[in-house]
Amino acid sequence: MRPRWLPLVLVAAGTAAPFAARAVEFNFAGTLQLDYLYTPFTASDPRPSSFVLDGFTQELSLKVAADLGRHTTANVKACFGCHGFEAGMGYVDFHLSDAFNVRVGRFTPTFGEFNLRHDPGNHRLSDKPLPYDMGRMLRFFDFGRSVLPSPYVDNGIEVWGSHFFGPRVQVSYAAHAVTGLRSLSPNAQDVDFASMRSASGLVIDNNSEPSVGGRLGVTFRLANRVDLSLGSSALYGRYDPAGRLQYTVLGGDLFLRLPTTNIRAEYLIRRTEMDATDPTTLAFEVAGVPGDPTRTFNTRDGWYIEVEQRVRPNLDVLLRWDGMRRVGNVGAGSLLDFDAGVSRWTLGAQLTVERGYRIKASAQHYQWWGLRNAPSGEFAVHLGAVATF
Amino acid sequence: MHPVRGAVLAMTVALGCAAAQRGEGLDVAAIPPAMRADYELFADRCSRCHSVARPLSAHVENATHWTNYVARMRRQPGAMISEAEGVRIVSFLVWFHDEHRDGGAR
């Protein structure tokens, strides 16, 4: 007769075996950013001029990376922000060579340059560039979501790698198949990014059609401490439950790195099909896509150019011009014209108080067009603190 | 607080902090000459994607772990860190964390 404790011993031994077979090395890292946004109401607003839009937003991320050996790494990241607690990542990487790696799980599919440094500890202004904004821009609810709100997190598989061609040129690539952008509405007129962050979005593809995409990039070492990176990215998929409405996102990025100056620029454009089965739900006359009058589309593009200048060892000054434009039909009752957009200038600074502790400050000026209740210009100020640990 | 007073206070604090000139990196003068080139390589390559405070504050205890850690970073798109440079970066990080554990140069 087998002793009763034998199954428990076997389970314990099985659980511990991988750890005993090789040393599992854990690394814990985190970021906390608290940002205060102040916006005085303009004279054209009917509310008293003493009113301001202000408030604190907090972003917290905690990440554990476990190196299970030379060829396997597991990463788990939990985030707390405007949407509450979320799984920012949970994936395993298999490294076969520098040129070929496989990632499976929940992660940020490779797209563009900014996503790599979307963590507030890794970029020097309080907020993200407009094409990647996730709710910080003024008049967010009137204008709608950005081109690809960052972090874009999804479930799936990605292969990626890089290769040096001589000491001065490195080519990198990434290709993925993931659940994809989604909307839960059968008569969707845009991607619903909020639904992608609901619990069901973590495990169920709303239309069983994967989204595919990737990035191809090249980096040139032009001189000692001078690099130039160029990249192009794409995403394609269907986002409504019936798998009828398509989206395509394209992007191009540039990063010039000089000894004390960083210059970055990106351009993104998303073409999103809209349901036009009932034309009364749309504000403008419907021009359907070729061959199907029940579908129409809009395009939303965005850009930023950012110059980051180190002034002192602990002080960086930044100047950024970013913007976003939406062209196409809108839902009935929307405040947007057929062609609407925003242009924004940001002047900011980042000050290192102590290693791992920084203060971010910036002033912004918005200019709108095609947004019916908006003044032509608005000011905003950010003051935040960020800690990395 | 009145916005103007708040702005003046914030600027005063900022200027005071700026005067300290304490950055995220190390004081090069406090690094042994044999290690300076490796430190500068580390500071240049790693700051491309993140602050150097990350690895300098990381809780990594041994050379094997640093090797895996740096290998993971080398694979990031456009990291532009060759295998040979990765070895030098690991060499610096192992030295720094050994020194720091003993309360040495910061």
* DSSP state at residue A184: S
A86: CB partners within 8 A, 6+ apart: A78, A79, A80, A153, A197
> Residue for token digits 């290769």?
A163
- Closest residue to B49, CB basis, from A117, A160, A172: A117
| Chain B residues near residue A28 by CB distance under 8 angstroms | 59
B84 vs chain A: nearest CA distance in angstroms? 11
Residue A27 has pLDDT above 90, yes or no: no
Residue B2 has pLDDT above 60, yes or no: no
| Chain A residues near residue B20 by CB distance under 8 angstroms | 314, 353
What is the pLDDT at residue A1?
45
pTM of the model: 0.87
Residue pair A136/A37 in contact by the 8 Å Cβ criterion: yes
Residue of A nearest to B64 (CA): A25
Residue pair A268/A148 in contact by the 8 Å Cβ criterion: yes
Query: Which B positions 25-54 lie with beta carbon below 8 A of chain A?
Result: 25, 44, 48-51, 53-54
Does the beta-carbon distance from B78 to A229 stay under 8 Å?
Answer: yes
> Using one digit for the tens of pLDDT, what is the confidence trace for A161-190?
999 999 999 999 999 999 999 998 889 999
- Closest residue to B65, CB basis, from A25, A29, A121: A25
Residue pair A154/A329 in contact by the 8 Å Cβ criterion: no
* DSSP state at residue A224: T
Terminal CA-to-CA distance of chain B, rounded, Å?
38
* Spatial CA neighbour of A144 closest among A289, A389, A331: A331
Residue pair A361/A382 in contact by the 8 Å Cβ criterion: yes
Residue A376 has pLDDT above 90, yes or no: no
What is the pLDDT at residue A45?
67
Distance from C-alpha of A346 to C-alpha of A363, rounded to nearest angstrom = 6
Instruction: Please spell the DSSP secondary structure of chain B, one letter per residue.
Output: --HHHHHHHHHHHHHHHHHH---SS--GGGS-HHHHHHHHHHHHHHTTTS-THHHHH----SHHHHHHHHHHHHTSTT----HHHHHHHHHHHHHHHHHHHTT---
- Of A31-45, A236-250, A254-268, A358-372, which range is least confident? A31-45
SS3 A140: helix
Residue of B nearest to A359 (CA): B14
Distance from C-alpha of B86 to C-alpha of A16, rounded to nearest angstrom = 32
Q: At what angle do helices B63-74 and B83-101 cross, to 10 degrees?
A: 140
Residue pair A203/A180 in contact by the 8 Å Cβ criterion: no
Does the beta-carbon distance from B65 to A27 stay under 8 Å?
Answer: yes
Terminal CA-to-CA distance of chain A, rounded, Å?
53
Does the beta-carbon distance from A352 to B50 stay under 8 Å?
Answer: no
Phi, psi of B5 (to 5 degrees): -65, -40
Distance from C-alpha of B103 to C-alpha of A1, rounded to nearest angstrom = 59
* Longest Cα–Cα distance in chain A: 87
Residue pair A310/A281 in contact by the 8 Å Cβ criterion: no
Q: In whole angstroms, how far apart are CA A230 and each of A57, A87, A216, A334? A: 33, 30, 9, 37
Residue A331 has pLDDT above 70, yes or no: yes
Distance from C-alpha of B30 to C-alpha of B38, rounded to nearest angstrom = 14
**Interval A238-254 mean pLDDT:** 96
Residue pair B92/B42 in contact by the 8 Å Cβ criterion: yes
Rg (CA), chain A: 23
What is the pLDDT at residue B16?
59
What is the percent of chain A where pLDDT is above 90?
67
ipTM of this complex prediction, to 2 decimal places:
0.81
Tokens of A389: 């640990």
Residue A202 has pLDDT above 70, yes or no: no
Distance from C-alpha of A153 to C-alpha of A280, rounded to nearest angstrom = 34
What is the pLDDT at residue A203?
64
Distance from C-alpha of A308 to C-alpha of A236, rounded to nearest angstrom = 32
Residue A318 CB neighbour total at 10 angstroms: 19
Q: How confident is the model at residue A26 (pLDDT cuts 50, 70, 90)?
A: confident
> For residues B7 and B91, which has the higher predicted lDDT (pLDDT)?
B91
**Interval A66-79 mean pLDDT:** 89
Does the beta-carbon distance from A67 to B77 stay under 8 Å?
Answer: no
A176: CB partners within 8 A, 6+ apart: A109, A110, A156, A157, A158, A159, A212, A213, A214
* Residue A259: half-sphere exposure toward Cβ, Cα within 13 Å: 5
Beta strands A72-81 and A246-257 are unpaired
- Closest residue to A355, CB basis, from B24, B82, B83: B24
Does the beta-carbon distance from B59 to A351 stay under 8 Å?
Answer: no
Residue pair A162/A98 in contact by the 8 Å Cβ criterion: yes
